Amino acid sequence: MKLTRTLYSMSSISVHSIFIKIGKSNYLTNQSGSSGAEAYMAEVTYNLTEIKGSDFVHFNFKKENHARPGTYSKTDFVHE
């Protein structure tokens, strides 16, 4: 999976949120397609919200075609 090139760093933690920054987001936002970007963001969100007290992950990166920065929770990735 080429998304391993998309590294993130934790920039801060608040009461219920973890804030991360993705510096080199081009592959995520332009080359992985909408499904690839969603899968990556879902995996990061599910992993980081396993930390006790963390319910949300705020992604900070340049908005492009296939992914949008913002605050996400596990429920944002539930498809019925």
For the CA atoms of the chain, what is the radius of gyration? 12
pLDDT digits (tens, 9 = 90+) for 35-48: 999 999 999 999 99
- Predicted TM-score (pTM) of the model is 0.83
* 3-state DSSP of 8-30: EEEEEECCCEEEEEECCCHHHHH
pLDDT digits (tens, 9 = 90+) for 23-33: 888 888 888 88
> For 71, what's the count of Cα atoms within 13 Å in the CB-facing half-sphere?
9
Residue 2 has pLDDT above 70, yes or no: no
Residues 6+ apart with CB under 8 A from 1: none
Helix (H) or strand (E) holding 59: strand 56-60
- Domain-wise residue ranges, the chain: 2-77
Amino acid at the residue 27: Y
Q: pLDDT at position 7, please? A: 65
